[in-house]
Structure 1
Amino acid sequence: MVEIFNERNRQFYDYWKQLPRAEGSLLPYRSSFLPEEIPDLLPNLLLFEVISKDFMKIRLQGTTIDEQYGSDMAGANYLDFVEPKRREVAASAFLMMAETPCGIVARLDQLLTTGRYVTVEAIGFPLLNDRGDNPIIIYSSNELRRSNRFTFEDEYQLHYIYVLDREIIDIGAGAPEFHDLPDDDH
């Protein structure tokens, strides 16, 4: 059983699990995800389209996420916000979710544009794209507590995000092993 600490993330997980699946698939179509059914969760949702291993397009970003990062990043490449030495690992997580398929829950320390550090829990799952071949990944990201971190000066840093832990969620296709370190570091 996956450990989810934030109640909103638990509600998101329960909602995703009950979505009708495409025939013969472990995944629901994007069109079966109806935002009006979970209005209280929308401010903390992110929707990504996996265009290629180098381009994870931010399709939708909730208002709480806008406030945390100081802008609406919709349309941008998520990987542009990741430190260069971490981009391959970050992209691998998205690709693994789409290809296996599986979910991920991660706890992260984040530096917000307000200068405040927080610890968040983010949980994501793949969806089938009704409009094309590019997979869709949907995340719910909610604050757990204030972080005690005061500096992000080590090799595991993302630009604004420090990955504390990441757990793979088996949705029926297995839970592949995932290393949060670049290949040459483990």
Structure 2
Amino acid sequence: MIEIKNARNQQFYDYWQNLERKGESIIPLKSSFVPEDIGHLLSNMIVYELISKDNIKIRLQGTAINERFGQDMTGGNYLDYVEAERRPVASSAFWLMAQQPCGVIATLEHALSSGRKITVESIGFPFENDRGDNPIIIYQSNEIEDYNPIDHKNDGLLKLIFVVDRQIIDIGNGAPSFVD
């Protein structure tokens, strides 16, 4: 049983669960996602397109996330914002969601452009791309106000995103194992 700490993330989970599926598919088509249905969640949403193992394109980034990082990363490669040694693991987590369809819920520490650190809970799910090519992953990401972050080794490197915890969500195809 997954535990979702943020109410907005729970709303996104409930919305995704109720999207129409095509035939026997366990994941919805991207076209079944109607932004107007959850307009109050859009500012904390990120849409990714999995181009290759080395390129996870940020197709759309909500305004609240832009404010967190002090920039709009739309159009960029998500992996450019991940430390070089963690890029293969980060890429694998995204591709796992598409190849053995599953969801992910993660607790992350973000280093903001202001220098402040916050802890967020992000929950993401795969969508079938209506064009039939690159998989789509949509995440909802919200701050956890009462979370006590885990102290981690500070090696002096800037960490825009540090994964504290990641759990795989079984969406009907089993929960694959994943080691962070």
For 1:14 and 1:131, how far apart are their aligned partners in 2? 25
Find the counterpart in structure 1 of residue 4 from structure 2: 4
Letter aligned with residue 127 of structure 1: F
Offset at residue 132 of structure 1 (A): 3.1
Find the counterpart in structure 2 of residue 153 from structure 1: 154
Tell me, yes or no, if the aligned pair for 1:109 and 1:149 is still in contact at 8 Å: no
For 2:152 and 2:107, how far apart are their aligned partners in 1? 17
Find the counterpart in structure 2 of residue 31 from structure 1: 31
Offset at residue 150 of structure 1 (A): 8.1
Tell me, yes or no, if the aligned pair for 2:82 and 2:159 is still in contact at 8 Å: yes
Find the counterpart in structure 1 of residue 44 from structure 2: 44
- Count of equivalent residues: 179
DSSP-derived class of the 2:110 partner? strand
TM-score, normalised with respect to structure 1: 0.91
For 2:167 and 2:12, how far apart are their aligned partners in 1? 16
For 2:38 and 2:12, how far apart are their aligned partners in 1? 8
Tell me, yes or no, if the aligned pair for 2:150 and 2:164 is still in contact at 8 Å: no
Tell me, yes or no, if the aligned pair for 1:117 and 1:149 is still in contact at 8 Å: no
Deviations 1:101-155 (A, max 9, x none): 0000000111111111111000000000012310000000000027657876259
Deviations 1:26-48 (A, max 9, x none): 01000100000001100000000
CA 1:44–1:86 in structure 2 vs 1: closer, same or farther (change >3 Å)? same
Deviations 1:61-88 (A, max 9, x none): 0000000111111110000110000000
Offset at residue 159 of structure 1 (A): 3.1
TM-score, normalised with respect to structure 2: 0.94
Tell me, yes or no, if the aligned pair for 1:118 and 1:147 is still in contact at 8 Å: no
For 1:35 and 1:158, how far apart are their aligned partners in 2? 33
DSSP-derived class of the 2:140 partner? strand
Find the counterpart in structure 2 of residue 63 from structure 1: 63
1:120-131 → structure 2 map (5 Å cutoff): 120-131=120-131
DSSP-derived class of the 1:94 partner? helix
For 1:129 and 1:12, how far apart are their aligned partners in 2? 19
DSSP-derived class of the 2:141 partner? strand
Tell me, yes or no, if the aligned pair for 1:117 and 1:148 is still in contact at 8 Å: no
Find the counterpart in structure 1 of residue 115 from structure 2: 115
Tell me, yes or no, if the aligned pair for 2:44 and 2:63 is still in contact at 8 Å: yes
Letter aligned with residue 153 of structure 1: N
Find the counterpart in structure 2 of residue 79 from structure 1: 79
Unaligned runs of 5+ in 1: 181-186
For 1:88 and 1:111, how far apart are their aligned partners in 2? 21
Find the counterpart in structure 1 of residue 177 from structure 2: 177
Letter aligned with residue 69 of structure 2: Y
DSSP-derived class of the 1:38 partner? helix
CA RMSD of aligned residues (A): 1.9
Offset at residue 24 of structure 1 (A): 1.9
1:8-27 → structure 2 map (5 Å cutoff): 8-27=8-27
For 1:148 and 1:45, how far apart are their aligned partners in 2? 22
